[in-house]
Amino acid sequence: MSDKSFLDWPFFEARHRELAVALEDWCASNLPVAHDDVDAACKGLVAALGAGGWLRHSGAGAGEKLDVRTLCLIRETLARHDALADFAFAMQGLGMGAISLFGSSLQREWLDSTRAGKAISAFALTEPGSGSDVAATSTTALRVAEGWRIDGEKTWISNGGIADLYVLFARTGEAPGARGLSAFLMPADTQGLTIAERLETIAPHPLARLRMDGVILPEAALIGTAGEGFKLAMSVLDIFRPTVGAAALGMARRALDETLVRVRNRKIQGQPLADMQLVQGHLADMALKIDAAALLVYRAAWTKDQGAARITREAAMAKLYATEAAQEVIDMAVQLHGGDGVRHGHPTEALYREIRALRIYEGASDVQRLVIARSLS
Ligand code: COS
């Protein structure tokens, strides 16, 4: 079983340790689920995570604060059992991140539904022409008599097609580049919003390209202050990037667990693989990368929970290291499993597909390197 000694690190309080134990029990009886129909699976997972009380932690109502260590522990644990369950939890948090941090009391009413698993949310930032370069956002939001008129396209939107509401970033034009963006709350049934395309990937999740043609949103749809959308998006990503690292960590832990069973049972030339020094060297590297990733992830989460205004550098380090390390750990797990490692349906084969996108979404690895380099004084 996975090494749980990290829960004794000083980053955690008793409530975190209790939550980790309770969630482990919940996962043992509810996960994994079948992934054949990912839309149905995600809807079912959101409902189950809501009924189980886990989604309560995905948002912050009035007077509450997101607890980043809790978000990370939940993502790490879910990802170890079922990557789709982690996705379902994570997107409720990311989708509602702007509302949790900056939402009006009216906008916060949506949190009652998303935290109960009764509504699905999505974060609509990326566009066909702007992924890493958020300042190049070209979807427009113009002031009109009724509020705001939105036109443009968003792509690679997780939960696109199954979401009940989207938090959308658009150019309101107060200034060029990063200083002229704003965030809006857009319900999925808004006229003029269409799902232009569903996107298939190596590890299927609900993903879509959205089109907004003359979408009209009321003034009250604006989240926070007009022109502050870039900073708002970055503040949300500062909180959720360590959680991506946590998900990667969960996948890496699962890969090591699977590998330990394999090398202790598989014999070569009469002795278990685990007795061979070359194999032991690989196991040591895997365990070391996992602990290093965990230290960076929980350092970032703890720092935010202590009240730091920004954890941009810590978040970037956590995401970059944990996702890259998990890819290496999982690759080694596949290697030590031989043919079984690439056989469709084997846990390591699924992990190998699931981990890849984490090095891309919410800021690709090279974006994180850029952020870290800029933080050096
Ligand atoms: N929190 C709060 N404010 C932030 C911030 C953060 N983490 N990061 C930047 N800002 C502020 C800056 O302080 C600056 O403010 P002033 O204009 O008052 O000086 C403003 O935002 C613009 O910042 P910057 O000049 O660094 O903007 P860039 O366009 O150079 O940013 C990067 C470039 C690459 C850092 C940014 O576009 C980024 O993170 N891209 C990746 C986006 C991403 O994760 N995409 C995936 C979508 S979600 S799946």
Residue nearest to atom 19 of ligand 1 (CA): 179
Residue nearest to atom 12 of ligand 1 (CA): 231
Q: Measured from the CB, is residue 360 less than 6 Å from ligand 1?
A: no
| Residue 138, number of CB atoms within 10 A of its CB | 13
Cα atoms in the Cβ-side hemisphere of radius 13 Å centred on 214: 0
Distance, CA 230 to ligand 1 centroid (Å)?
A: 6
**What DSSP string runs through 312-363?**
HHHHHHHHHHHHHHHHHHHHHHHHHHGGGGGSTT-HHHHHHHHTGGGGTTTS
Tell me: the pLDDT tens digits for 266-322?
999 999 999 999 999 999 999 999 999 999 999 999 999 999 999 999 999 999 999
Distance, CA 360 to ligand 1 centroid (Å)?
A: 17
* Of residues 202, 58, 176, the one with CA closest to residue 120: 58
The H or E element that residue 148 is part of is strand 147-158
Which ligand 1 atom minimizes the distance to the CA of 230? 21
Tell me: the pLDDT tens digits for 100-142?
999 999 999 999 999 999 999 999 999 999 999 999 999 999 9
| Residue 363, number of CB atoms within 10 A of its CB | 23
Cα(44)–Cα(62) distance, integer angstroms: 28
Burial class (CB in 10 A: 0-12, 13-18, 19+), 56: middle
- Amino acid (one-letter) located at 116: A
Band (pLDDT 50/70/90 cuts) for residue 358 is very high
Entry pTM: 0.97
Nearest-10 Cα torsion for 229, 233, 239, 241: -170
Which ligand 1 atom minimizes the distance to the CA of 374? 26
Tell me: the pLDDT tens digits for 32-60?
999 999 999 999 999 999 999 999 999 99
* Of residues 85, 244, 91, 78, the one with CA closest to residue 159: 91
Distance, CA 141 to ligand 1 centroid (Å)?
A: 20
Cα(301)–Cα(324) distance, integer angstroms: 19
* Of residues 330, 325, 317, the one with CA closest to residue 363: 317
Tell me: the pLDDT tens digits for 189-236?
999 999 999 999 999 999 999 999 999 999 999 999 999 999 999 999
Cα(117)–Cα(57) distance, integer angstroms: 12
Is residue 327 pLDDT above 70, yes or no?
Answer: yes
The catalytic residues are 362
According to the model, what pLDDT value does residue 3 have? 85
| Average pLDDT taken over every residue of the chain | 97
According to the model, what pLDDT value does residue 1 have? 61
Tell me: the pLDDT tens digits for 58-86?
999 999 999 999 999 999 999 999 999 99
Strands 147-158 vs 207-218: parallel, antiparallel or unpaired:
antiparallel
Contact 299, 12 (CB under 8 A): no
What average pLDDT does range 248-260 have in this prediction?
98
Q: Which two tokens stand for residue 165?
A: 């509401």
**Cα-based angle 310, 179, 320 (whole degrees, multiple of 5):** 40
Which ligand 1 atom minimizes the distance to the CA of 133? 37
